[in-house]
Amino acid sequence: MTEAEFLSIVEPGDVQADLLVIGCFENEAPPLDGLAGPVAAAARRLAERTGWKGGDKQYVETAPGEGPVAVVGLQGLGARGELDVRRSLRWICRRVEWAQNAGIAHLALRLPAADTTLGPAAAERVARTAALAQYRFDRYLTERRRRSHRLDRLTLLPPNGGARDYRQAVADVPALAAALVLTRDLANAPANEAHPEWMEERARDLAQSRGMEVSVLHRDELERRGMGGILAVGVGSRREPRLVRLDWGEGDLALSLVGKGVTFDTGGISIKPANDMDEMKYDKAGACTVLGIAQAVADLELPVRLRVYVPLVENMPDGGAYRPGDIVRCYNGKTVEVINTDAEGRMILADSLAWAAEEEPDVLLEYSTLTGASVVALGQNAAGLYSPDEDLATGLLEAARDSGEQLWRMPLWPEFLEQMKGTHADLKNSASRWGGANTAAAFLSEFVGGLRSWAHLDIAGGACVSRDSEEHPRGATGYGVALTVNWLRGHLG
């Protein structure tokens, strides 16, 4: 079943479901306008129960006994003024999870009228969250370990005045949801499967299915072009490095996307601690993000000239691996003194950004799980944004807010670049521990040439979650796909 068949919008009087859950604010009557008589009557009885207040996470249900809905439930949402974007999405995920565990086949949700549920941006957020609420990366689980039940249908009853926005959102969401599933599946794939060759194959599959042109630079071509950063990081693995480029579309805006694709990061000679090293399969999340964006742009037929650059390497310790103290020459001719082989992402991005900037896009966006320092600064649900372009930064921040993704602008001050100056080379790839995300971004700024309209998104915090949450199952989130598509739509007008 496709997302379009799974998710639907109906008016309150037309709802038929095994379970209808109505969102209610604390100390307010439930929104019952338009519901069939027996359904509305059952909801009123629930609201009159002793102890019912509509507090956050409070839930009651009953069977109407007749009518088009088998069971009616009231879901407390807390005080109206406290329903922020994240809470409004969590209650959808929570109800879907509960319905699956209870064996419900058809769930309907009545959305309350609030700032976080009204308008095109809210409709897209809600519909996207609903379409993806059942996502699990379970292809490696045996049948007995897989979820025994999934919803057959999920119906949304839009808030008063929201029907048009929600119908449009549901029409567009399948393409975006499919792109997010692609991004999550690629990022969740384990490193013994998802090595550089495998990622190249997936990029080729995407290109073939969407009419994109694809070109791949393998070792010989990387050497010929002087892409020393990619070569240095990849030399310690038996899986050879490569740089994939996709081209698609026509339009006035030339947009380039760059995504970090370290399929597994041991840290190399500067090896990482063993704890949580299994999560280093997510160091390719930037590459997965730009491939997901490319699929969404193609499926939505957005009028843009899109170029996507995906450097793919595995950072391994080996007798031939690159070392601290090595000096590497990158594609734009700048030399880099290697201080830490675990600062590998910026090395492969240096070559990729320089090539992308050389082709003179109007806008260049780069996504990478670049630094743990970003997670220390912003937490495990947010990404850091770096850009010298005020308009671009503002647009991306607004798009993130509308998408329900957390993005925070960080500084590109000159002193951070000063810290990245090398002793025996133009640059070094690591500085002190202080402001590590900022110095990394400053390093990248040396590889975009004279291009001002560029942005670096350090998605280390938002790309994956370490444990199941109300919003995401453990694993990749697909962070960045929705906000970029929303930004692009707004930018294109």
Q: For residue 258, give both structure tokens.
A: 């760059």
d(CA 130, CA 285): 23
Is the pLDDT assigned to residue 2 strictly greater than 60? Answer: no
How much is the CA Rg of the chain, to the nearest whole Å? 24
Instruction: Give the pLDDT mean for 338-349.
Output: 98
- Structure confidence by residue, pLDDT tens digits, 272-311: 999 989 999 999 999 999 999 999 999 999 999 999 999 9
For the cut 60, the answer to whether the pLDDT of residue 162 exceeds it is: yes
**471 to each of 84, 115, 344, 414, how far by Cα in Å?**
14, 20, 31, 38
The answer, yes or no, to whether residue 412 has pLDDT greater than 90, is yes
- The pLDDT mean for the chain works out to 93
- Does the pLDDT at position 192 exceed 90? yes
Catalytic residue among 239, 284, 346, 428: 346
Confidence of residue 470 (pLDDT cuts 50, 70, 90): low
Convert the pLDDT of each residue in 344-392 to its tens digit. Answer: 999 999 999 999 999 999 999 999 999 999 999 999 999 999 999 999 9
Kindly state the average pLDDT of the residues 108-130.
Answer: 90
Residues 458, 404: Cα–Cα separation, whole Å: 17
Is 346 a catalytic site residue?
Answer: yes
3-state secondary structure the chain: CCHHHHEEECCHHHCCEEEEEEEECCCCCCCCCCCCHHHHHHHHHHHCCCCCCCCCCCEEEECCCCCCEEEEEEEECCCHHHCCHHHHHHHHHHHHHHHHHCCCCEEEEECCCCCCCCCHHHHHHHHHHHHHCCCCCCCCCCHHHCCCCCCCEEEEECCCCCHHHHHHHHHHHHHHHHHHHHHHHHHHCCCCCCCHHHHHHHHHHHHHHHCCEEEEECHHHHHHHCCHHHHHHHCCCCCCCEEEEEEECCCCEEEEEEECEEEEECCCCCCCCCCCHHHHHHHHHHHHHHHHHHHHHHHCCCCEEEEEEEEEEEECCCCCCCCCCCEEECCCCCEEECCCCCCCHHHHHHHHHHHHHHCCCCEEEEEECCCHHHHHHHCCCEEEEECCCHHHHHHHHHHHHHHCCEEEECCCCHHHHHHCECCCCCEECCCCCCCHHHHHHHHHHCCCCCCCCEEEEECCCCCEECCCCCCCCCEECCCCHHHHHHHHHHHHC
Residue 322 above 90 pLDDT? yes
Q: Which of 80, 272, 305, 409 is catalytic?
A: 272
Per-residue pLDDT at 469 = 66
Does the structure show a pLDDT above 50 at 267?
yes
User: pLDDT-based confidence at 406, cuts 50/70/90?
Assistant: very high
Average pLDDT for 155-173: 89
Architecture in CATH of 3-158: 3-Layer(aba) Sandwich (3.40)
What is the C-alpha to C-alpha distance for residues 373 and 391, in angstroms, rounded to an integer? Answer: 26
Domain 183-492 is of which CATH architecture? 3-Layer(aba) Sandwich (3.40)
Q: Where are the domains of the chain?
A: 3-158, 183-492
pLDDT at 1: 44
Residues 86-114 pLDDT 10s: 888 888 988 888 888 888 999 999 988 88
> What predicted TM-score, i.e. pTM, was given to this entire model?
0.95
Q: Which residue has the higher pLDDT, 267 or 90?
A: 267
Residues with Cβ within 8 Å of 112's Cβ and at least 6 positions away in sequence, in order, are: 23, 24, 25, 31, 77, 83, 159
Question: What pLDDT shows up at residue 466?
Answer: 80
Q: Which of 119-123, 373-377, 437-441 bottoms out in mean pLDDT, i.e. has the lowest?
A: 119-123
Label residue 5 by pLDDT band (50, 70, 90).
Answer: confident
